[in-house]
């Protein structure tokens, strides 16, 4: 059998220009044209070609490097540096520029806030291309691990204990330094002591920051059980992989083509208080109020949903009861009791009254109980309706009428159609970001850095979808040339 062998000494006639190495239909050309279409001032990146001093790298080229690098699943500054030397598409994209990893990392550090704004500009470009209409918006969330060890989650008591031990160790080091001064021993001992002292002082300042955060959260009435020392803005969250320091990534997806309008990363593990805020942020980007907003039962908080419903937006979110797949039809469930608004009481299926008993849960709920416990004991349904010695009790939300309205709204055939589309729309972006882009954990620490990372990933998803929706690389580049963003 014959084999083909390579020959490194073979003379070749290579193209004179790197432009010849990148085909006309290469996706890298779309990323190049897309960033050229972005208004850097609106993103928050200041450009000044007349700036004196040593020339910096073109910020637009650096932005291209981050976005295109993310499409490969590369976040590391060292990997991006290597790509500018060895990957032809990166060499073409950067026009031969080869920033080192420190420069790449520093640009990202200085421009976290600007990178966070990139998805907004991307969404507005999609709107101008008529790929997003903002009429029907879907909200969903997923947990993504922070760059922090679970073992670094400390309670307040643990932090106070650590701080006491560090203070003690620093005092010991200072005493040791004085002894070294008196004995005038070798300089190597001094260097070692100074390094250990600096390390302990740095650790002490981090512990103090965490304790300060505990106090701030306690003042808000939201004191967490633990705070992570490596990334204090992350939180311990449960997922199918177990409990880890993570961020709750929220996305708002447009119904028309499933493109991402807005992304966010929050420290709250629950989705309950996110719906109104995420819809509002998305509406700010689209410049219009949406007609329909939908999410799963994890967002079913009546106060939160009422805020959006009050604006005239149709809310399609199931209650916790409606979300159950195998709902058991119980004859004495709360909705089988009739509320009499005029008399402010409930009537049970047997016609007996449940009267006002008092408020619960800081005044958010109202309790109603049977007028006489003996009525329940003598009732033929005793044991099936209630087993309480005090008789049957019903708890009603202050916004119960709003909740019932939203439940009826969800049951409408039109709403069921919207909700059926929701899953296919919201799962696709998260699947692409996690599987294709490899964003299963964050590289940066702190909420601002994490928001920058997820913004770049969401932008990559939208760019890939735009290529398909518009009909190829050349057509999309032509569309970018007509933009007025």
Tell me whether residue 366 is in a domain.
Answer: yes
* DSSP state, residue 441: B
Q: Which of 224, 245, 278 finishes a domain?
A: 224
Mean pLDDT of 427-435: 94
Which pLDDT band holds residue 101 (cuts at 50, 70, 90)? Answer: very high
Residues 186 and 119 in one domain: no
Tell me whether residue 195 is in a domain.
Answer: yes
pLDDT number for residue 166: 74
pLDDT number for residue 416: 94
Mean pLDDT of 211-223: 76
Tell me whether residue 84 is in a domain.
Answer: yes
| Beta strand extents in 110-226 (DSSP E only) | 136-145, 153-154
Which pLDDT band holds residue 164 (cuts at 50, 70, 90)? Answer: confident
pLDDT number for residue 356: 86
pLDDT number for residue 325: 62
Q: Which two tokens stand for residue 256?
A: 């028309």
How many whole angstroms separate alpha carbon 85 and alpha carbon 69? 13
Tell me whether residue 111 is in a domain.
Answer: yes
Tell me whether residue 183 is in a domain.
Answer: yes
pLDDT number for residue 297: 92
Helix H or strand E encompassing 378 = helix 373-378
Tell me whether residue 182 is in a domain.
Answer: yes
pLDDT tops 80 at residue 192: no
pLDDT number for residue 209: 80
Mean pLDDT of 322-341: 79
Residues 54 and 121 in one domain: yes
Residues 117 and 201 in one domain: no
Question: Tens digits of per-residue pLDDT, 267-306?
Answer: 998 999 999 999 999 999 999 999 999 999 999 988 899 9
Tell me whether residue 368 is in a domain.
Answer: yes
Ramachandran angles phi, psi of 366, nearest 5°: -125, 135
Mean pLDDT of 381-395: 88
pLDDT tops 90 at residue 327: no
User: b/e per residue, 241-271, with b = 16+ CB within 10 A?
Assistant: eeebbbbbbbbbbbbbbbbbbbbbbbbbbeb
Q: Which of 224, 241, 273 finishes a domain?
A: 224
Residues 22 and 120 in one domain: yes
Which pLDDT band holds residue 328 (cuts at 50, 70, 90)? Answer: low
pLDDT tops 90 at residue 414: yes
Q: Which domain holds residue 376?
A: 334-391
Q: What does each C-alpha distance from 190 to 173, 178, 186, 204 come to in angstroms?
A: 11, 10, 7, 21
First to last CA, the chain: 61
DSSP symbols for 252-306: EEETTT--EEEEEEES-S-STTTHHHHHHHHHHHHTS--SEEE--GGG--HHHHH
Residues 24 and 125 in one domain: yes
Mean pLDDT of 440-465: 96
Residues 117 and 171 in one domain: no
* DSSP state, residue 357: E
pLDDT tops 60 at residue 190: no
Residues 190 and 107 in one domain: no
pLDDT tops 90 at residue 395: no
pLDDT number for residue 180: 65
Mean pLDDT of 250-274: 95
Residues 25 and 86 in one domain: yes
Contacts of 444 (CB under 8 A, 6+ apart): 108, 112, 147, 450, 452, 453
Residues 117 and 179 in one domain: no
What's the pTM? 0.85
Residues 112 and 210 in one domain: no
Residues 107 and 175 in one domain: no
Mean pLDDT of 207-222: 77
Name the β-bridge partners of 252: 139, 262
Tell me whether residue 283 is in a domain.
Answer: no
Q: Which of 374, 391, 408 finishes a domain?
A: 391
What is the total count of domains within the chain?
Answer: 3
pLDDT number for residue 141: 95
Residues 60 and 23 in one domain: yes
| Beta strand extents in 371-467 (DSSP E only) | 393-397
């Amino acid at each position: 059998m014959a084999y083909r062998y390579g020959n490194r000494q073979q003379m070749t006639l290579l193209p004179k220009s790197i432009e010849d190495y990148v085909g006309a239909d290469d996706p890298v050309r779309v990323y190049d044209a897309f960033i050229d279409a972005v208004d850097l001032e609106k993103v928050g990146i200041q450009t000044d070609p007349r700036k004196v001093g040593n020339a910096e790298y073109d910020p637009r080229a650096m932005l291209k490097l981050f976005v295109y690098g993310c499409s490969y699943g590369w976040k590391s500054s060292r990997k991006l540096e290597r790509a500018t030397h060895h990957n032809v598409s990166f060499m073409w994209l950067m026009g031969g520029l080869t920033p080192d990893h420190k420069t790449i990392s520093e640009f990202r550090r200085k421009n976290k806030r600007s990178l966070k704004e990139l998805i907004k500009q991307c969404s507005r470009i999609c709107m101008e291309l008529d790929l997003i209409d903002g009429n029907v918006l879907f909200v969903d969330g997923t947990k993504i691990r922070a760059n922090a060890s679970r073992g670094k989650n400390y309670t307040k008591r643990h932090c106070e204990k650590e701080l006491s031990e560090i203070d003690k160790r620093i005092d010991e080091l200072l005493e040791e330094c004085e002894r070294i001064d008196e004995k005038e021993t070798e300089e190597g001992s001094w260097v070692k002591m100074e390094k250990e002292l600096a390390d302990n002082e740095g650790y002490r300042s981090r512990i103090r920051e965490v304790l300060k955060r505990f106090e701030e959260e306690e003042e808000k009435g939201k004191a967490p059980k633990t705070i992570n020392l490596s990334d204090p803005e992350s939180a311990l969250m449960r997922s199918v992989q177990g409990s880890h320091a993570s961020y709750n990534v929220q996305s708002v997806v447009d119904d028309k083509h499933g493109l991402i309008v807005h992304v966010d990363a929050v420290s709250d593990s629950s989705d309950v208080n996110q719906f109104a805020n995420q819809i509002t942020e998305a509406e700010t980007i689209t410049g219009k109020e949406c007609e329909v907003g939908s999410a799963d039962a994890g967002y079913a908080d009546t106060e939160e949903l009422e805020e959006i419903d009050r604006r005239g937006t149709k809310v399609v979110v199931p209650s916790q009861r409606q979300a159950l797949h195998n709902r058991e039809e119980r004859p004495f469930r709360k909705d089988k009791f009739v509320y009499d608004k005029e008399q402010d009481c409930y009537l049970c299926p047997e016609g007996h009254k449940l009267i006002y008993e008092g408020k619960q849960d800081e005044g958010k709920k109202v309790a109603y109980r049977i007028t006489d416990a003996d009525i329940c004991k003598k009732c033929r349904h005793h044991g099936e309706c209630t087993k309480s010695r005090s008789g049957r009790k019903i708890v009603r939300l202050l916004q119960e009428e709003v909740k019932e309205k939203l439940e009826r709204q969800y049951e409408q055939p039109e709403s069921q159609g919207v909700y059926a589309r929701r899953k296919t729309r919201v799962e696709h972006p998260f699947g692409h970001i996690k599987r294709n882009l490899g964003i299963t954990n964050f590289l940066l620490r702190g909420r601002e850095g994490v928001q920058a990372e997820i913004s770049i990933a969401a932008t990559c998803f939208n760019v890939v979808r735009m290529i398909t929706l518009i009909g190829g690389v050349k057509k999309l580049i032509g569309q970018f040339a007509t933009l007025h963003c």
